[in-house]
Structure 1
Amino acid sequence: MTQVRYFAAAEEFAGRATEQRDDATLGALRRTLAADYPALGVILPRCAVLVDGRRSDDETALGAASVVDVLPPFAGG
């Protein structure tokens, strides 16, 4: 299963720091996260979502060893 790690406001809105998911693609994962955590779904389009440390598109396949980081926008510079 894919490990999903939430940071800052994403962690607050998901109600957890990490979890395991079995979605086949990043796009499927985004849709299920938005459905499962409506507050996270509001900011998810603005979040940086990394798969194994790289920005990825919705067609990116997720596997058992994948790590997805959900990073909300940060203020400041």
Structure 2
Amino acid sequence: MITVRYFAAAAEAAGVDTEQLPAGSAAQVRTAMVAAHGAGLDRVLGRCSLLADGTRVDGDDPVPSGTTLDVLPPFAGG
């Protein structure tokens, strides 16, 4: 299992701040997030960065068991 932490608009779309999901590739985890929370989260995820223990992941990149995955929408400011 991995810990997913949602921030800002992603947390609002998911309806939760954190949850546990199965490990897998970044794409598999994204699919699990959308299956759990629906199309609203899918739209937000298109603009988000996924950071696995601080390292950006996408597509086939692995998200192994025990990882914390942060779902970060773009932030304004500087």
Letter matched to residue 66 of structure 1: T
**Alignment TM-score, normalising by the size of structure 1:** 0.87
**How far, CA to CA, are the matches of 2:31 and 2:68 in structure 1?**
17
Q: Which runs of 5+ in 2 are unaligned?
A: none
**How far, CA to CA, are the matches of 2:54 and 2:9 in structure 1?**
19
**Alignment TM-score, normalising by the size of structure 2:** 0.86
> Which residue number in structure 2 is paired with residue 50 of structure 1?
51
Identity %: 44
Q: Which runs of 5+ in 1 are unaligned?
A: none
Q: How does 1:32-43 map to 2 (within 5 A)?
A: 32-37=32-37, 38-43=39-44
**Helix, strand or coil for the counterpart of 1:74?**
coil
Deviating beyond 4 angstroms after TM superposition, the runs of 4 or more aligned structure 1 residues are none
> Which residue number in structure 2 is paired with residue 17 of structure 1?
17
Across the aligned residues of Structure 1 and Structure 2, the Cα RMSD in angstroms comes to 1.3
